[in-house]
Structure 1
Amino acid sequence: MSRMKPTRRVMLVLCSMLVLGFIYYSSERLHLHVWGPKSQSELDNVFAVGRVVASVYDKQGFLLKADGKLPLELEYKYGNLTKGVCKQGFSAAKMTAIYPKFTKPAPMFLDPNFKRLTKISNYLPPFGIKTQERIIDVILSATQNYGLGSELDSLSCKKCVIIGNGGILSNKSLGPGIDEYDVVVRLNEAPVSGYEKDVGSKTTMRITYPEGAIQKPERYEKDSIFVLSAFKPKDFNWLRYMVFKEKLRGVDGYWKSIARSVPREPSEMRILNPYFTQEAAFQFIGLPYNNGVMGRGNIPTLGSVAITMALHNCDEVAVAGFCYDMSNPQAPLHYYAKDKMSTIKESWTHNIDQEKKFLQKLVKAGVIQDLTNGI
């Protein structure tokens, strides 16, 4: 038997690598996995098979040359729709085009079956619900509502806008346009009253945590859903007091003053699925994993968490008021306060530069629309 020539052996190895790379790429493009992140080892090796494939994507798994163009089959689907008509599945299709690992189904809020969501069961807050199962059961038994409401839940296509709190919103007169969205998401204590011209008057939900919640009951909008994004175990305990209208006992463990009451009925309160915090941090932005627990620089801002939620649950996603111009430290940080951009540098939990790169990918590829052009 004659020995195989070295040149032929090299060619066979290269061909094998190309075939493996093609198979891996195809499986990622056509995957039908259940929602949730891969294991950490899978994340570390996600594009390690085949140099051809690896060169197309960055280390987070995003297409390196994202130009906003849709694959031909999707271009035909959306290109012939009348202007203004809601494009069903549009943001998810755009996201999948630049991030093949994306899978849309992921429940917006926790419901009584939350323990089936294994990807959050293995993590402590803010990335999961580990050790908090019992108190969550108590809270959910009282709220008894786990969606946006019958009217919005029945829509076959939803247009959502996430309103950031950036000073860039000032004097843009975007209010009327914002109010035309099906779902308007606001964050923390950002006020509406007195700012309607720029930020609109409609609020579908307000996502927050104890330290970020509105502290004056009269400032809450009517008919909005109060949504907790829990960053630590103590936050669930706080929500329990709010749901049952009990006097708050003990305020140690919070980094600043917290709301003592929330003027909402239990049926108007929700718990945000912590998977969105987990996915935004470890998969989309690429923050330090830190064994899956909160640490320095590995917590995404609530804005990025809300955008991640919208990508999974809305058909079209827009944002307004997102702008971290670190080159201009004296620029206003918020549209409603006098604090400056320089104060964001004091945060040890966020990585603003890394987060901005993630949002820029979404805007460049047309996954989200930036109404204030601040990203």
Structure 2
Amino acid sequence: MLSSSPPYEHIRGECTPGDVASKAASIIPNYSRNHKFFLQLSDFFWTSYRSRFYLPYGTNGSEAMIMQTLALTYHYDTPHEIDRLQCRRCVVVGNGYRMKNSSLGEVINKYDVIIRLNNAPVHNYEKDVGNKTSIRLFYPESAHFSLNLDNDPKTLMVLVAFKSNDVKWLKTILNNEKRITNGFWRKPPVIWNVKPENVRILNPYFVEVAATRLLSYDNKTQKFSAKPTTGLMAISFAIHFCDVVHIAGFGYPAPISKTQYVHYYDKATMKNMARSEHKVPLEAMVIKKLLQHKVIHNLTYF
């Protein structure tokens, strides 16, 4: 386990544009920042390019549904208050149990961009996790959070689409159509009063990077070694989007610790994780490598 003293000085101190990019490029094959962060309607017009992968790693086969959904959002860019920053200091707040009693709330609130994951609550946990949210990555089954209590009025709700039905669910929400409930491993919300201007769809490129370059992909068999967690996808996004990247609340209990709690806000254990498609030890190795090369820094411990 790596220990890391909290690098709080980076929050107010020096921020060098391109610092994360230069470090990431040294260890990630074909690292590039020449990609849009969120899908745009124009991506699907007047282009002969067809994505190599299906969702969540590409848009192949889901282009029509994505176009219909993007036509309802009208906003595809980065908000001005973030885009105007000459240097972006970001923190990716993980959902790990080590956030409990961390007292990191005030520290987290000082970052320029605060990225949260799935249904992780803020309300009633402010002392440990802060109360500001710039970007929340989610998918329909994890959209069970309070849009008002756990987010700010301008928080970007960024859909990580794992399947075409995820995009279709968002379309029914935005267009107030009959909700779909089949094809999900857990029933997603049927009432979700989000503002269309606050909605984005994550460019699957960052999921592909997490799966093929941070984890691994076998070109011969065309198989992924593992499906990345939302946390690793968020880190993949952040090391392309930000100039300083800190993480907090990452890391799972040892696999043999079946009864230890995984999250700071519920009683899920490693026994629950065993049923997922994620390879926790493999992701831990990836995060350790990013920490060792100082691409990212840790506010907690790993």
AA aligned to 2:243 is D
Match of 1:214 among 137, 144, 150: 144
Q: How far does residue 124 in structure 1 lie from its aligned partner after superposition?
A: 1.0
Q: Which residue of 2 aligns with 1:310?
A: 238
Q: Which residue of 2 aligns with 1:263?
A: 193
Q: How far does residue 303 in structure 1 lie from its aligned partner after superposition?
A: 0.5
Hey, which of these two has a bigger chunk of helix by percent? 1
Q: Which residue of 2 aligns with 1:43?
A: none
Q: How far does residue 120 in structure 1 lie from its aligned partner after superposition?
A: 6.9
CA contact (8 A) 2:159 2:200 kept: yes
Rounded Cα–Cα distance in structure 2 between residues aligned with 1:157 and 1:364: 23
Unaligned runs of 5+ in 1: 1-80
Match of 1:163 among 84, 93, 100: 93
Q: How far does residue 341 in structure 1 lie from its aligned partner after superposition?
A: 2.6
Q: How far does residue 85 in structure 1 lie from its aligned partner after superposition?
A: 2.3
After TM superposition, the runs of 4+ consecutive aligned structure 1 residues lying more than 6 A away are: 116-120
Counterpart secondary structure, 2:200 = strand
Greater alpha carbon shift after TM alignment, 267-276 vs 94-103: 94-103
Rounded Cα–Cα distance in structure 2 between residues aligned with 1:82 and 1:302: 24
Q: Residue by residue, what CA displacement relative to the aligned partner does 1:257-302 show, whole Å, maximum 9, x if unpaired?
A: 2111322111110000111111111121115569657x7x621001
Q: How does 1:129-168 map to 2 (within 5 A)?
A: 129-168=59-98
Greater alpha carbon shift after TM alignment, 148-157 vs 231-240: 148-157
Q: Cα gap change, 1:255/1:118 in structure 2, threshold over 3 Å: closer, same or farther?
A: farther
Rounded Cα–Cα distance in structure 1 between residues aligned with 2:32 and 2:75: 25
AA aligned to 1:255 is W
Rounded Cα–Cα distance in structure 2 between residues aligned with 1:301 and 1:143: 26
Q: Which residue of 2 aligns with 1:46?
A: none
CA contact (8 A) 1:190 1:336 kept: yes
Greater alpha carbon shift after TM alignment, 112-121 vs 90-99: 112-121
Q: How far does residue 88 in structure 1 lie from its aligned partner after superposition?
A: 0.9
AA aligned to 2:68 is V
Does the alignment pair 1:344 with 2:268?
no
CA contact (8 A) 1:107 1:313 kept: no
Q: TM-score, normalised by structure 2?
A: 0.88
CA contact (8 A) 2:29 2:213 kept: no
Q: Which residue of 2 aligns with 1:127?
A: 57
Q: Which residue of 1 aligns with 2:13?
A: 84
Rounded Cα–Cα distance in structure 2 between residues aligned with 1:161 and 1:234: 30
Does the alignment pair 1:330 with 2:255?
no
Q: Residue by residue, what CA displacement relative to the aligned partner does 1:10-33 show, whole Å, maximum 9, x if unpaired?
A: xxxxxxxxxxxxxxxxxxxxxxxx
Q: How far does residue 113 in structure 1 lie from its aligned partner after superposition?
A: 2.6
Rounded Cα–Cα distance in structure 2 between residues aligned with 1:329 and 1:290: 36
Rounded Cα–Cα distance in structure 2 between residues aligned with 1:304 and 1:267: 26
Q: Residue by residue, what CA displacement relative to the aligned partner does 1:161-186 show, whole Å, maximum 9, x if unpaired?
A: 11110001011111111011111111
Q: How does 1:106-255 map to 2 (within 5 A)?
A: 106-115=35-44, 121-214=51-144, 219-223=149-153, 224-248=155-179, 250-255=180-185
Q: Cα gap change, 1:257/1:219 in structure 2, threshold over 3 Å: closer, same or farther?
A: farther
Counterpart secondary structure, 1:361 = helix
Q: Cα gap change, 1:154/1:304 in structure 2, threshold over 3 Å: closer, same or farther?
A: same
AA aligned to 1:192 is V
Q: Cα gap change, 1:216/1:260 in structure 2, threshold over 3 Å: closer, same or farther?
A: farther
Rounded Cα–Cα distance in structure 2 between residues aligned with 1:313 and 1:151: 14
CA contact (8 A) 2:55 2:163 kept: yes
Q: Cα gap change, 1:227/1:303 in structure 2, threshold over 3 Å: closer, same or farther?
A: same
Q: Which residue of 2 aligns with 1:8?
A: none
Counterpart secondary structure, 2:90 = strand
CA contact (8 A) 1:105 1:312 kept: no
Rounded Cα–Cα distance in structure 2 between residues aligned with 1:320 and 1:114: 34
Q: Cα gap change, 1:262/1:291 in structure 2, threshold over 3 Å: closer, same or farther?
A: farther
Identity %: 36
Q: Cα gap change, 1:346/1:100 in structure 2, threshold over 3 Å: closer, same or farther?
A: closer
Relative CO higher for 1 or 2, CA cutoff 8 Å, sep ≥ 6? 2
Q: Cα gap change, 1:361/1:288 in structure 2, threshold over 3 Å: closer, same or farther?
A: same
Rounded Cα–Cα distance in structure 1 between residues aligned with 2:49 and 2:251: 31
Q: Which residue of 1 aligns with 2:33?
A: 104
Unaligned runs of 5+ in 2: 1-9
